[in-house]
């Protein structure tokens, strides 16, 4: 099987353990590994697929902790650079029993935001089967944006499948129009685009799944499929030349934390595509891992092993 490659900013999240307390009032926090693209790499690796992660960390305790945990998760670290001049980013996350938690970033001017795009020339693409990119790395700095753009161009030049999640983080953008233009431009370089339905509303101006799908299919000949995440309802899939269809999702009773669900969805898509199970089955798997992700407090702690995934999908008629 071919390997997986992604680029992003790694973070440490200090997650509050004080239920429904405002961040300013919370006193008890637990430390977790975080960062959208790293979450995806963790999940893909957990399913037994060789994974590599491109980034830069600071020469500090948080950076050292991240590199150690990346290694412990079976992800190759040969493309992780250490920058002595900048710190590793982190953030605080609220714990809530309903809705999305508040978060607060400490990531401006981080080591990853100063990643050198020239370092991409060192990447060995020989056995890479899929490259995943997100709008978060593109949002943290001009360096981050150029790195994502260049990596996607390199992938397309080599006919490597690319998946792309806009992963809107409004806090990281100074201008909403620039956000919309840049995130949609990057989407035009992806073979498979995976926005959430509310992200589609912000980037395309509509929450209609067919209109969102058609926008991305029409803006680029590279894009061959659009998958629109719709929460517990599942996901809408439109493959070029085919009709839009809804792939049913999984409903769970105990939602602990919604952060990481979208990255879990990407894990399912990517692993399914690399294993060549067909795009519809990949979307179904994506829905399953997204459902598992919301039942755990850590951003990636709920991502399953192969046995856990098979059991969950089997019990729930996946």
pLDDT digits (tens, 9 = 90+) for 180-212: 999 999 999 999 999 999 999 999 999 999 999
Q: How many domains does the chain have?
A: 1
Query: Global pTM?
Result: 0.93
Decide if 318 is inside a domain: no
The per-residue pLDDT for 318 is 46
The more confident residue out of 205 and 97 is 205
- CA-based Rg of the chain, rounded to a whole angstrom? 18
Decide if 53 is inside a domain: yes
29: left (phi over 0), alpha (psi -120 to 50) or beta: beta
Task: Calculate what percentage of the chain has a pLDDT beyond 90.
Answer: 86
Task: Calculate what percentage of the chain has a pLDDT beyond 70.
Answer: 95
The more confident residue out of 125 and 314 is 125
Decide if 157 is inside a domain: yes
Average pLDDT over residues 42-65: 97
- The lowest-confidence range among 26-40, 275-289, 304-318 is 304-318
- Residue 20 φ/ψ, nearest 5 degrees: 65, 10
Decide if 20 is inside a domain: yes
Known catalytic membership, residue 211: no
User: Whole domain around residue 266: which residue ranges?
Assistant: 3-313
Which CATH number characterizes residue 256's domain?
3.40.1190.20
Decide if 267 is inside a domain: yes
Of the candidates 118, 263, 299, 301, the residue annotated as catalytic is 263
DSSP the chain: --EEEEE---EEEEEE-STT--TTT---EEEEEE-HHHHHHHHHHHTT--EEEEEEEESSHHHHHHHHHHHHTT-B-TTEEEETTSPPPEEEE---SSSPPPEEEE-TT-TGGG--GGGGGG---TTEEEEEEEHHHHHH-HHHHHHHHHHHHHHHHTT-EEEEE----GGG-S-HHHHHHHHHHHHTT-SEE--BHHHHHHHHS---HHHHHHHHHHH-SS--EEEEE-GGGEEEEEETTS--EEEE----S-----TTHHHHHHHHHHHHHHTT--HHHHHHHHHHHHHHHTTSSSTTTTPPPHHHHHHHHHHTT-
Decide if 268 is inside a domain: yes
The per-residue pLDDT for 316 is 81
- The lowest-confidence range among 110-124, 231-245, 293-307 is 293-307
How many residues are present in the chain? 318
Average pLDDT over residues 144-170: 97
The per-residue pLDDT for 232 is 87
Residue 292, pLDDT > 60, answer: yes
- Integer CA distances (angstroms), 297 to 33, 232, 267, in order: 11, 18, 18
Decide if 217 is inside a domain: yes
Decide if 232 is inside a domain: yes
């Amino acid at each position: 099987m071919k390997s997986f490659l992604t680029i992003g900013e790694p973070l440490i999240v200090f997650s509050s353990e004080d239920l429904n307390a405002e961040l300013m009032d919370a006193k008890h926090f637990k430390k977790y590994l975080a960062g959208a693209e790293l979450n995806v790499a963790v999940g893909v690796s957990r399913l037994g697929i060789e994974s590599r992660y491109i980034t830069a960390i600071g020469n500090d305790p948080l950076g050292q902790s991240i590199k150690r945990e990346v290694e412990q998760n079976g992800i190759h670290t040969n493309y992780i650079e250490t920058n002595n001049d900048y710190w590793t980013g982190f953030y605080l996350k609220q714990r809530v029993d309903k809705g999305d938690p508040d978060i607060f970033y400490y990531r401006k001017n981080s080591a990853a935001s100063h990643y050198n795009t020239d370092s991409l020339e060192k990447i060995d693409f020989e056995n890479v089967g899929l490259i995943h990119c997100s709008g978060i790395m593109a949002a943290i700095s001009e360096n981050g944006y150029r790195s994502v753009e260049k990596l996607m161009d390199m992938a397309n030049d080599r006919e490597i499948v690319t998946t792309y999640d806009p992963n809107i983080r409004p806090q990281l953008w100074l201008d909403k129009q620039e956000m919309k233009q840049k995130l949609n431009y990057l989407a035009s370089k992806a073979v498979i685009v995976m926005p959430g339905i509310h992200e589609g509303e912000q980037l395309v101006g509509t929450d209609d799944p067919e209109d969102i799908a058609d926008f991305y299919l029409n803006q680029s000949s590279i894009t061959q499929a659009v998958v629109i995440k719709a929460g517990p309802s599942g996901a809408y899939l439109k493959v070029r030349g085919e009709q839009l269809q809804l792939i049913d999702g999984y409903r769970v009773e105990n939602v602990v934390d919604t952060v990481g669900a979208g990255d879990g969805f990407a894990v399912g898509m990517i692993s399914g595509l690399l294993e060549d199970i067909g795009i519809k089955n990949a979307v179904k798997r994506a829905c399953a891992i997204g459902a598992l992700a919301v039942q755990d407090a850590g951003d990636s702690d709920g991502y399953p092993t192969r046995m856990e995934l098979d059991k969950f999908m089997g019990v729930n008629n996946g």
